[in-house]
Amino acid sequence: MPRYLYNALKENKKDVVEGEIEAVTPREAREKIRELGYMPLKIFDPALVVNEMSDFSDNQGGITFLSLNDKIMFVSEVQVMLSSGISIVDALNTIYVNSPRMKVKKIAKELQVAILGGKTFAEAVNYLYHDAFGDTFIDLCVTGENSGELDKTLDRMLVMLRQQDEIKGNIIQALIYPCIVILIMCGLLILFSKFVFPTFASAIMMSGAGVDIPVFAATVMGTLQFIGDYWWLCILSIFAFFGAVNFLATYDKTRAFFDKLFLQIPIIKDFVNYINLANYMCILNISYATGVPFMKSLELARRTIGNTEIKQKADYANRLVEKGATLSDAFHKASLLPGALVTMIAAGEKAGNLSKMLQDCVDVIDKKIDMVLKALTKAFEPTLIVVLGAIVFVIAIAFFQLYMGLIQSLV
């Protein structure tokens, strides 16, 4: 009869035991382990480990980036199968067989083989795909496995990933209108630079009446002609500008300058602030609910903040909590959260229901992000219209001067 190795949790759901059991199938092995009073975590065939590890050792990892959609697909499939009682090895094998995305298939297969080799799920992710998933995901998985509630931990992280995807979708939706206006603007410039202005200029020059092209019209024509002839240089200059800004942002001083600048621009400062706080509060809520030690939860949340100014406030809040301050007092003194959210957290601390209040704070911040995005869109639309109107006005003046010059040449 085949023999299977297993890892399982004792009844207290804290201590992990390892052993070997005889069974015809992995399903029967799981049932026998449950009869012993244990909760099976991993069941694997030793022979399978030897065969697969030989192929695995030369072709592992290699994926350093995973899109948000791929993460959502992978985490949701693992979470659903774990919550249904399927072992992590069987869940990963099912994903490998059925997933339509090659990256997800590769990750599932290599994690499965690593787990069969004796690693936990978190250890396998950390060893193979640390850059793709990040420290926060791995640390939360460690806590979930230690508590025997990996499926619930993944479910909480899945909620966070879907919220991030929704925010990303709202940002893209808000950019659709400006992009359309910019395309119309570019089309207008191409039309006048390639067809309208050259036609009128040629007519004036061919008339032989000695009428010169007005200076303003000639300047506009020259500018549009340059853009039309060297459009690739203009595009390259735009990319070079943003590339230079991105390069400068790698230095601490310039990054701090840009981060501080963004927090001083009306509306944009609210967007930057709430985007950073959304990630911060979401991770803090998940970590706290999962059972991560409180200071560790604050540190995991702090890592998600991208703006250096806001991160300094989070650092200060962490130090205050470490010295004995309550979370609400620390957030208030550090000016990390708006007053309304600090009041909510203080109420949660007094009522002994901090976890629910943290979730409510996450929901409030999500609504604030939607409001700020709408405000940004409303502020951006008239700005674009003014810019487009100014360009049309300049072109109209140049066109009128050319038109009058053509009439004079015919008189």
For residue 162, what are its two tokens?
A: 């879907």
Residue 155 covered by a domain:
no
DSSP bridge pairs for 383: none
Does 349 lie in the same domain as 369?
yes
Residue 373 covered by a domain:
yes
pLDDT tens-digit map of 279-297: 899 889 888 888 888 898 8
Does 58 lie in the same domain as 39?
no
Does 24 lie in the same domain as 67?
no
Does 144 lie in the same domain as 97?
yes
Q: For residues 277 and 266, what is the distance between their CA atoms, to the nearest angstrom?
A: 17
Q: Is the pLDDT of residue 382 over 60?
A: yes
CATH number of the structural domain spanning residue 377 = 1.20.81.30
Does 199 lie in the same domain as 95?
no
Q: For residues 122 and 120, what is the distance between their CA atoms, to the nearest angstrom?
A: 5
Q: For residues 30 and 40, what is the distance between their CA atoms, to the nearest angstrom?
A: 6
Does 64 lie in the same domain as 38?
no
Residue 333 covered by a domain:
yes
Does 52 lie in the same domain as 40?
no
Final residue in a domain of this structure, among 148, 167, 191: 148
Does 65 lie in the same domain as 195?
no
Which pLDDT does position 210 carry in this prediction?
Answer: 56
Does 295 lie in the same domain as 257?
yes
Q: For residues 240 and 233, what is the distance between their CA atoms, to the nearest angstrom?
A: 10
CA atoms in the 13 A half-sphere facing the CB of 283: 25
Does 235 lie in the same domain as 364?
yes
Q: Is the pLDDT of residue 103 over 70?
A: yes
| pTM score above 0.85 | no
Domain count, the chain: 3
Order of all β-strands in the sheet with 39-44: 16-22, 3-9, 39-44
Q: For residues 297 and 402, what is the distance between their CA atoms, to the nearest angstrom?
A: 68
Residue 158 covered by a domain:
no
For residue 134, the enclosing domain spans 47-148
What three-state secondary structure class fits 321? helix
pLDDT tens-digit map of 303-349: 888 889 999 999 999 999 999 899 999 999 999 988 889 999 999 98
Q: Where are the alpha helices (H) located in 291-353, listed in sequence order?
A: 294-303, 308-322, 327-334, 339-351
Final residue in a domain of this structure, among 111, 129, 148: 148
Q: For residues 15 and 57, what is the distance between their CA atoms, to the nearest angstrom?
A: 30
Cβ contact 321:338 at 8 Å: no
For 188, 219, 235, the CA distances from 231, given in Å and listed in that order, are 14, 17, 6
pLDDT tens-digit map of 105-162: 888 888 888 888 778 888 888 888 888 888 888 888 888 888 778 888 888 888 888 8
Residue 194 covered by a domain:
yes
Does 89 lie in the same domain as 23?
no
Does 289 lie in the same domain as 240?
yes
